[in-house]
Structure 1
């Protein structure tokens, strides 16, 4: 695993720890940040992709190997996906799943360090589309206010080439840490709004906001070191 990913995951892993099965958590039983709902959603997507490609399990070279989208999610290797898989999940398995489905899919390795760290942790905690939209909005706000030449990007939750180009422009102007902090402000506002709209989620609000504050401190440490 890359050094940059390790820097990002080192923070996220602090906040994704023990086994949890809180009744207000829509993700269900969770360990090291891996929730049952997320794993089952990934399995459904893997099956849909196989159907789209008209690929059957019988005769598939990837069947029962780590290359199989479904099998790689069967963490206790008993042939199904249920709460026991979450209970069996290890730190290494969680890190590998997050790298594949968040870090790699969002192409975080090509982002400036603070934006990569911020996006990755947001994707793990809130889902990738929302995390990307917050990043795009923060970069638009920063670019509009700070760059001499700036063209806004779509805030569509998709990590396309224009998003990467704006991130690079912000880095060249020395604004990558500023944009990351702007992203955290949007994330904090989202949590407060979510708790206001859905009272059952208020139980998580303090923890969410503490995580945002801790990430701001982590970014400050990285900025001093770079």
Structure 2
């Protein structure tokens, strides 16, 4: 049986296609959903942590091993991180990066499946902070109307213990799929607002909205399996 991550990534991978270099995409050249801007940001964060811990490549025990953050980003293994790494990125490398930086960091394994699937895909597509805020807003909306004991969450984009606790409470009353769909409605509204605010994003609007609809259909498939 597939793991929760495998179920989530199976959907996301279908929508994060091959090599794309659209002039209006602020993420820059992208491959299997891995954008150059994101990888550059990850590389800078890794360098900053190394400086803080006074670690240098020439004498670092992590260099070349699985604990070296830069190794996972240097996908063409030429010693630097640049656009060529995006071109070299494989589906398997993309899945490893997404699991580490989205699924694991957000603690998706601790969430009911429909909320984990929705949050993960949103985090990959929009960034984790916005995806968490949409989940928190959906939890507040459903929790206020359906939970006997309800204390609203701060919609701060931080995936903390209270957000996970409310997600479990929602699942306990069998409202987790409904809540996931509420989160998707907010995501669709965000895309429409973004395209209205930034005309250069209009080129992506239909694709974004089709992805939301497809995720709703995927949630329906998962619900039939339960």
TM-score band, normalised by shorter chain: over 0.9
* Post-superposition offset of 1:57: 2.0
Give the distance between the partners of 1:189 and 1:109, measured in 2 at CA: 27
1:78 aligns with 2:78: yes
Which deviations, in whole Å up to 9, do the C-alpha atoms of 1:20-41 show, x marking residues without a partner?
0000000000000000010010
- Residue equivalent to 1:15: 15
* Post-superposition offset of 1:64: 2.0
1:65 aligns with 2:48: no
Give the distance between the partners of 2:213 and 2:15, measured in 1 at CA: 12
Give the distance between the partners of 2:140 and 2:5, measured in 1 at CA: 25
- Residue equivalent to 2:205: 205
- Residue equivalent to 1:127: 127
- Residue equivalent to 2:108: 108
SS at match of 2:167: helix
Which deviations, in whole Å up to 9, do the C-alpha atoms of 1:66-123 show, x marking residues without a partner?
3211121000000111111111000000000000000000000000000000000000
- Residue equivalent to 2:175: 175
* Post-superposition offset of 1:54: 2.2
Give the distance between the partners of 1:201 and 1:71, measured in 2 at CA: 33
Give the distance between the partners of 2:145 and 2:79, measured in 1 at CA: 53
Give the distance between the partners of 2:204 and 2:66, measured in 1 at CA: 34
SS at match of 1:70: helix
* Post-superposition offset of 1:127: 0.3
Contact 1:65 1:72 in 2 (8 A): no
Give the distance between the partners of 2:206 and 2:134, measured in 1 at CA: 20
SS at match of 1:23: coil
Structure 1 spans left out of the alignment, 5+ residues:
none
Q: TM-score, normalised by structure 1?
A: 0.98
Q: TM-score, normalised by structure 2?
A: 0.98
Instruction: Please give the residue correspondences for 1:14-33 in structure 2 after superposition, counting only pairs within 5 Å.
Output: 14-33=14-33
Give the distance between the partners of 2:22 and 2:136, measured in 1 at CA: 32
1:162 aligns with 2:162: yes
1:189 aligns with 2:189: yes
